[in-house]
Chains A and B, each alone.
Chain A
Amino acid sequence: MSKNNSYKILNTRLPRVDAIDKVTGKAIYTDDMSFPGMLYGAILHSPLAHARILNIDTSRAERLPGVKAVVTYKEAGTQPYGVSPARYDETIFCHDKVRYIGDEIAAVAAVDKDTALEAVSFIKVDFEELPVLLDGRHAMDEGQPQLHDMYKNNICARVNWNFGDIEKGRKESHIIRTDHITSKMQDAAFMEPQSVVAEVDSHGNLTMWSSTQAPHYIQRTLAMALNMPLHKVRVIKPAVGGGFGPKASCSTVELATCLLALKTGKPVKTTLDREQVFLHSRARHQFFHTMTTGVKKDGTLSFLEHHCILDGGAYASFGIATVYYAGSLLGGPYRLKNMKYDGYRVVTNKPACGAQRGHGAVIARAAFEVQLDRIAEELGMDPIELRLKNVMEAGETTCNELFVSSFGMKEALEAVRDSAAWKKKRSLAGKTRGTGKGIGAACGFFVSGAGYPIYRSKTYHCTVVTKVDEVGGGVTVSSGAADIGQGSDTVLAMITAEELGLPLDDVRVVSGDSNLSVDLGAYSSRTTLMTGHACKDAARDIKRQILEVIGGKLNIPPEKLDLKDGRVVGIDKDIDFSALREEYLQEHKGFMDLPEGPQLTFREASRIAFLEIGSVVGTGSYRPPKLGGSFKGATVGTSPAFGCSAQVAEVSVDLETGEVTVDNITGAHDCGFAINRTQVEGQMQGSMMMGMGEALMEQIIYNDKGRIMNANLAEYKIPTSLDVPHLDAIIVESNEPHGPYGAKEVGEGAIMPVIPSILNAIYDATGVRIDELPVTPERIIEALKKKRENK
């Protein structure tokens, strides 16, 4: 689909604003930074998964020449912090116990990296080993080791929801089936390991540069855990090499590096190595889903009863939201009147899990979409027809009170069906089930920005301040928003350029700095919708001010004027502005590129406005209206808008070896309106690849001591260019009334249908269902073997 509107900048394929810096090596990531006299930090991780700390002796490390500071809980204090205020269960360093292999015990700053690492190895810790809990399924059982006093029976959070009338749904059902799906913990595997630089100036102001997704939250956590006033803490996000969730929570490496900078008075840099990235994790939980779904004879869904245990590793991190999302986002995209959900998020002696692309909802979605496929088969119905029969439409509210104001679900499903020639291939495959070639479909549903901040507050979720150059000409957009590679800076630049009628090159975006504005950060697919609104308002504010000055001078009502193509123009008639030019020309004697002609350039207009009213600054702020129901936990899952998506996957499976080749993926996503078409496709394609990895190859493997056995990118396999097929991304635009220009999310929703469409295709190809992710060749062979034996 192509552009079909009057926008000059929006809805195009303009290159991202940071593209040139990124192809020339000029883009600065945190680890690229250095300061004179900078020290290097290193961290001591626990070698044990569960143990009491008896004594920490740092004396030998302190004596090593070149070491400038060694810090443990004694220096750091034991102020608890975390993501959700109700679950502050972490301290900067462990003090009483260690709870996973990798838990942070101490940090060192030294003149170079090698010295810092050597010093770390000199720190002596005496432990008393404790029994280790690794199996999340049994974490709640009697007699299991207990990780935290605050989590009785290792339950970190539980949700018990009951919407509608399950019993009524059960009675109405023609088919009822129960299925299970389990997954493994997974890593986000962003390419840039976390890196932090911290510095304290002579007035005691702490500045931290970090590869983070959420400068605002990190600023708050630093201030709280380090016991500093908020305004003395500044967090800046340089270029970030991907985040996908785990970089949204504050990490020990951030806190420890700040502490070392405060202690030494010197800038300090700490960069994790790849193994530490795995140890820090905060990535995908392990899920154990059981779903019972009923449908009527005609395929209408009648109820869903859903039970889930989430193994979240040693600490809460984002896990409270995760357990809620795992239930709430099954409310759509289908009409489902009766839904019961019991979710338990437990702690175990493994690295803490947190948010990862499609937060909480990905495996639940996979489980449900696979179950729908099984139901379709029982009903003798085409799986896409079954879905089409149940999809919601714009204006409907889910049983858990999520209102969908725009919804291109049907369009997306039809688009992938037709584009992938589903009808032809499916009928073929129906006859050839189990012959090694398969095709599968699935849908997805996701928030377009969390409706509420993580901490309870009436705060605006984002503000944008846009200032016109006082010399006239360009504008600078200032925002705390975090571009982590998804392209939000480009979105802000495009919106501003469109509103002001400027070329993209005349808009500069400075962002990712907690000093610039409040912005909750890059998570829950919120930036385009939320910061986009604020950015649009800031630009319109400027436009109004400039046009008021120009209109005032010419006695023309400002609403009869517009900014277009770098000029001020009359709306219903041509206006000769040249009389206003004099002031500008007088100031620029000797300049070569002076404007001429009847129209006034933006450069002149903005300078004239400054001469008249001083700095021209526009502001915009956004926060969602009150959303959601009033039941406990109703806030999680709410959003001003919801994205939805559909996908068809085609696979070949070698029935001898179990090897799966994904031959084709066709995905369609309703993003409301594509601000930048190339970037929307890019988010979709990235989601397809990540989902494909999660479906087929990605799993963290632990030994029986709780040590990760594949903490590197060779053994933790993610898809390479050879694994990934051609990825076909179809943009659906449903014009979201609550989004700027109709836009809503794409960053996370697009991953939802990926895993189940591949699982459904594998079933079509093999005739066996694998209910344990990832679907490795071994699991396929085993299932095929079982099937043969049962015959």
Chain B
Amino acid sequence: MVREDLGLTGSKKGCGIGDCGACTMLVNGVATFSCMMLAIQADGCVVETVESLAENGKLNKLQQSFVDLGAIQCGYCTPGMLMTATELLRRNPHPSEKEIRLALSGNLCRCTGYQKIVDAIKAVAGE
């Protein structure tokens, strides 16, 4: 529904059954696999997607860190990774590497080996 009716195609579909995390959005601030959710369940909730991260055309710190540290290859997992990391950093602004890896464990990435994604989140968390 978000992709087709609202035209917000930033969130991706890698599996449609809750296995990959590519579709992660924040629903009332909680990282959620949107493929597992009916639009009606989100009725009245605040939904945040990757499109909402940059403000006035300026990347936020986390996005900038992904760009600068090379946390992106094909980019298909990136929107989901960013949303999961956003939730983590709101909850826990200074996570350890372990906590970062734990938070990301539902988001699959086949390109990066996760190293640069973890580095990019760490760089923001360490500030």
Interface of A with B (CB < 8 Å)? 13, 15-16, 18-29, 31-32, 34, 188-193, 239-242, 244, 273-274, 484-487, 678-679, 681-682, 685-690, 712-714, 718, 720-722, 724, 726-727, 729
Q: Shortest CB–CB separation between residue B56 and chain A, in angstroms?
A: 12
Given contacts A24-B53, A682-B116, A713-B14, contact A242 B110 (CB under 8 A): yes
**19 A-B residue contacts at CB 8 Å?**
A18-B72, A20-B59, A23-B53, A23-B59, A23-B78, A24-B63, A25-B8, A25-B79, A29-B76, A32-B3, A191-B76, A487-B73, A686-B73, A689-B110, A689-B113, A690-B110, A721-B100, A721-B117, A724-B115
Whether B101 pairs with A189 at a CB distance below 8 angstroms is no
Whether B53 pairs with A191 at a CB distance below 8 angstroms is no
Residues of chain A lying within 8 A (CB to CB) of residue B67:
15, 19-20, 23
A27 to B76, alpha carbons, bound, how many Å? 9
Whether A241 pairs with B12 at a CB distance below 8 angstroms is yes
Q: Which of A18, A686, A690 contacts B75 (CB 8 A)?
A: A18
Whether B110 pairs with A273 at a CB distance below 8 angstroms is no
Interface residues of B in 94-112 (CB under 8 A from A): 100-102, 104-112
Whether A682 pairs with B76 at a CB distance below 8 angstroms is no
Whether B70 pairs with A682 at a CB distance below 8 angstroms is yes
A486 to B114, alpha carbons, bound, how many Å? 15
Residues of chain B lying within 8 A (CB to CB) of residue A729:
115
Whether A24 pairs with B54 at a CB distance below 8 angstroms is yes
Q: Shortest CB–CB separation between residue A453 and chain B, in angstroms?
A: 25
Q: How many residues of B contact A (CB 8 A)?
A: 54
A726 to B101, alpha carbons, bound, how many Å? 11
Q: Shortest CB–CB separation between residue A61 and chain B, in angstroms?
A: 23
Whether A190 pairs with B66 at a CB distance below 8 angstroms is no
Q: Which of B4, B8, B22, B113 contacts A191 (CB 8 A)?
A: B22
Name the residue on A nearest B97 (C-beta). A726
Given contacts A274-B15, A727-B115, contact A486 B73 (CB under 8 A): yes
- Find the residue from A23, A189, A722 having the highest chain B CB count within 10 A: A23
Residues of chain A lying within 8 A (CB to CB) of residue B116:
678, 681-682, 685
Whether B72 pairs with A19 at a CB distance below 8 angstroms is yes
Q: Shortest CB–CB separation between residue A585 and chain B, in angstroms?
A: 32
- Given A24-B10, A485-B111, A682-B73, 6 more A-B residue pairs with CB atoms under 8 Å apart are A19-B66, A20-B67, A23-B59, A681-B70, A687-B113, A714-B19
Whether A29 pairs with B12 at a CB distance below 8 angstroms is yes
Q: Shortest CB–CB separation between residue A680 and chain B, in angstroms?
A: 10
Interface of A is mostly: loop
Given contacts A23-B82, A713-B108, contact A485 B76 (CB under 8 A): yes
Interface residues of B in 1-59 (CB under 8 A from A): 3-4, 8-17, 19-20, 22, 49-51, 53-54, 59
Interface of B with A (CB < 8 Å)? 3-4, 8-17, 19-20, 22, 49-51, 53-54, 59, 63, 66-70, 72-79, 82, 100-102, 104-118
Whether B10 pairs with A26 at a CB distance below 8 angstroms is yes
Q: Which of A29, A274, A724 contacts B17 (CB 8 A)?
A: A274
Whether A16 pairs with B10 at a CB distance below 8 angstroms is no
- Find the residue from A18, A25, A714 having the highest chain B CB count within 10 A: A25
Whether A678 pairs with B12 at a CB distance below 8 angstroms is no
Name the residue on A nearest B54 (C-beta). A24
Whether A23 pairs with B66 at a CB distance below 8 angstroms is yes
Whether A190 pairs with B110 at a CB distance below 8 angstroms is yes
Name the residue on A nearest B80 (C-beta). A191
Given contacts A679-B70, A686-B110, A722-B101, contact A241 B76 (CB under 8 A): yes
Q: Shortest CB–CB separation between residue B26 and chain A, in angstroms?
A: 14
Whether B9 pairs with A28 at a CB distance below 8 angstroms is yes
A33 to B49, alpha carbons, bound, how many Å? 18
Residues of chain A lying within 8 A (CB to CB) of residue B15:
273-274, 712-713
6 closest Cβ contacts across the A-B interface? Answer: A25-B10, A485-B74, A241-B76, A22-B75, A685-B113, A689-B113
Whether B111 pairs with A682 at a CB distance below 8 angstroms is yes
Q: Which of A34, A244, A682 contacts B110 (CB 8 A)?
A: A244
Residues of chain A lying within 8 A (CB to CB) of residue B104:
720-721
Whether B108 pairs with A242 at a CB distance below 8 angstroms is no
Residues of chain A lying within 8 A (CB to CB) of residue B12:
29, 191-192, 241
Name the residue on A nearest B120 (C-beta). A23
Residues of chain B lying within 8 A (CB to CB) of residue A27:
75
Name the residue on B nearest A691 (C-beta). B113
Whether A720 pairs with B105 at a CB distance below 8 angstroms is yes
Whether B20 pairs with A713 at a CB distance below 8 angstroms is yes
Q: Shortest CB–CB separation between residue A36 and chain B, in angstroms?
A: 13
Q: Shortest CB–CB separation between residue B6 and chain A, in angstroms?
A: 12
Whether A25 pairs with B110 at a CB distance below 8 angstroms is no
Residues of chain A lying within 8 A (CB to CB) of residue B8:
25
Residues of chain A lying within 8 A (CB to CB) of residue B100:
721
A18 to B78, alpha carbons, bound, how many Å? 12
- Find the residue from B75, B105, B109 having the highest chain A CB count within 10 A: B75
A714 to B68, alpha carbons, bound, how many Å? 31
